[in-house]
A and B are shown apart, each in its own frame.
Chain A
Amino acid sequence: MTRLQKSTFAAALVFALATAHVEGAVVEAGKTIAAAGNASGAPACASCHGADGLGNAAAGFPRLAGMNAQYLVRQLNDYENGTRNNPVMSAMVKSLTQAERAQVANYYATLPVPAKPMQAGGDAARLASGQRIARDGDWSKGVPACYRCHGPDGSGVPPHFPAIIDQPASYIVAQFTAWKDGARSNDPIGLMKSVALKLDNDEIANVAAWLAANAYPPKR
């Protein structure tokens, strides 16, 4: 089994077990941990990711609200196995059991996303350039459109391709840096590393600005 398969299987198993139980109980347990941490010393997720799970644009902490639960569990597992690295997250995740990871992930998945995007506005030319890459790619560099894998509006293709819209621009930029220099290597088949190595810093900044300026479309 590939590492992705093992990690995803673990996540799916936890997710399946979680949904097999009374879902309300799982979400409630997750809500408690998110707000208050747990007895093993994990801090409250909300202390960085916001009381409403909407992150912190200025600090670059990502939105968790509305993100796919299976994807979130996998990120936590990958902070533990070192394919994703962040001083705070890597240390903290050891204090969360598999069940608790499923609980917080399922809780955050239920939280609503706002109509307003993370960071609206910005330089029109930058946004237009970022939009072009997100929507059409840059095939002169062999880069497919972000939306080709992350959904027609960037709101994700569960379970492997997360929503990329409505995240802080600085967080998106930090991920590209991490893929480039190997600090983050949990992208399946190295798909994001391939993209990160081809885009230049200007393009990455423009795409990040565009994505941060886009909210989820209204539910159909």
Chain B
Amino acid sequence: MMGIAMASAMATPEEVPAGPADAVKFAPPAEDAIPNSPLGDMIRMGRDIFVDTQTHARQYVGNGLNCVNCHLDAGRLANSSPLWAAYVAYPAFRTKNNKVNSYQERLEGCFIFSMNGRMPPPDSDVMIALVSYSFWLATGAPTGAQLAGRGYPDVPKPPLAPDKQRGAQVYAEGCALCHGASGQGTRLGNAYAFPPLWGRDSYNAGAGMHRVNTAAAFIKANMPLGQQNSLTDQQAWDVAAFVNSQPRPADPRTKAAASTASGR
């Protein structure tokens, strides 16, 4: 087996890689603390959508993914782009669309790019539910604060330039088991047990995950599942370069996508 480090080399989730010196420590409320109320119902719906987007927000999804595929532990997990850290960081200016975005607009982007679908309207149950779930996860978090565990920790540039040939080897050894030799994922019944990483059922080229640095950071801190922080920086960058060199649906903002209808 090519040097994929075993359990002993892993960092535990408590050992959060050093972030900004003023990052605020935060933990979301316990799962069973969702209130019994109309708001609580929305929060639960948001959680359901987040974990099984295929079932609960079908009409807005254009591929085979679920939010939880890239935001582990139902959007709760530090260093896995948890919702609670994002919620208090908006409204914010984003260079992606060169404007100040509300939190809802940020979620719209998830549907348009990562889910290769269409955006739920701001007053839709789906959007209100997701915002409610995010709001609840962020209970007590200081608005506008940089929370420890936000996003995926940056992975330093590796010694060698990221190489998709080396990445293909990392992929075959440590990723193909679940994500398929051709990135097709693993089907179980009508759904994906393990998500596709490229091809028509994966995120499109406008998604954040399509950026090699973002993918490297996600992979380093979260993959293989249960073996977070076991890959070297080099391996994370290489496999990210490999995965993101594969074909996938076009960025909807480009001319290539303009002639085709979004989603299925």
Q: Which residues of chain A have a CB within 8 Å of any CB of chain B?
A: 2-4, 136-137, 139-144, 148-149, 151-152, 157-158, 160-161, 188-191, 193-195, 197-198, 220
Report the bound CA distance from A117 to B74 in whole Å.
Answer: 29
* Nearest chain B CB to A159 CB, angstrom units: 9
Cβ of B21 < 8 Å from any Cβ of A?
no
Q: Which residues of chain B have a CB within 8 Å of any CB of chain A?
A: 1, 4, 6-8, 10, 12-14, 31, 72-74, 76-77, 173-174, 177-178, 186, 188-189, 193-194, 224-228
Q: A190–B7 contact, CB under 8 A?
A: yes
Q: Given A144, A151, A194, A197, which contacts B193 in the complex, CB threshold below 8 Å?
A: A151
Q: B226–A191 contact, CB under 8 A?
A: yes
Q: A157–B77 contact, CB under 8 A?
A: no
Residue of B whose beta carbon sits closest to that of A196: B7
With A2-B173, A195-B226 known as contacts, the answer to whether A142 contacts B188 (CB < 8 A) is: no
Report the bound CA distance from A195 to B188 in whole Å.
Answer: 23
* Nearest chain B CB to A77 CB, angstrom units: 17
Chain B residues with CB below 8 A from A149, complex form: 178, 193-194, 225
Chain B residues with CB below 8 A from A141, complex form: 12-13
Q: A193–B7 contact, CB under 8 A?
A: yes
Q: Given B6, B188, B193, B194, which contacts A190 in the complex, CB threshold below 8 Å?
A: B6
Q: A151–B188 contact, CB under 8 A?
A: yes
Residue of B whose beta carbon sits closest to that of A5: B172
Q: B228–A188 contact, CB under 8 A?
A: no
Report the bound CA distance from A191 to B194 in whole Å.
Answer: 15
Residue of B whose beta carbon sits closest to that of A180: B7
Report the bound CA distance from A157 to B187 in whole Å.
Answer: 8
Report the bound CA distance from A142 to B79 in whole Å.
Answer: 12
Report the bound CA distance from A63 to B251 in whole Å.
Answer: 49
Residue of A whose beta carbon sits closest to that of B187: A157
Q: A139–B73 contact, CB under 8 A?
A: yes
Chain B residues with CB below 8 A from A4, complex form: 177
Report the bound CA distance from A126 to B12 in whole Å.
Answer: 25
Q: Given A151, A160, A195, which contacts B177 in the complex, CB threshold below 8 Å?
A: A160
With A2-B173, A189-B4, A191-B226 known as contacts, the answer to whether A139 contacts B72 (CB < 8 A) is: yes
Q: B13–A142 contact, CB under 8 A?
A: yes
With A151-B188, A157-B186 known as contacts, the answer to whether A194 contacts B6 (CB < 8 A) is: yes
Q: B227–A191 contact, CB under 8 A?
A: yes
Report the bound CA distance from A191 to B6 in whole Å.
Answer: 9
Q: Given B10, B174, B225, which contacts A144 in the complex, CB threshold below 8 Å?
A: B225
Chain B residues with CB below 8 A from A152, complex form: 188
Chain A residues with CB below 8 A from B189, complex form: 220
Residue of A whose beta carbon sits closest to that of B186: A157
Q: B226–A142 contact, CB under 8 A?
A: yes
Most buried by A among B6, B73, B74: B73
Chain A residues with CB below 8 A from B74, complex form: 136
Report the bound CA distance from A3 to B1 in whole Å.
Answer: 8
* Nearest chain A CB to B210 CB, angstrom units: 24
Q: B10–A139 contact, CB under 8 A?
A: no
Most buried by B among A140, A142, A161, A188: A142
Q: Given A2, A142, A160, A191, which contacts B10 in the complex, CB threshold below 8 Å?
A: A142
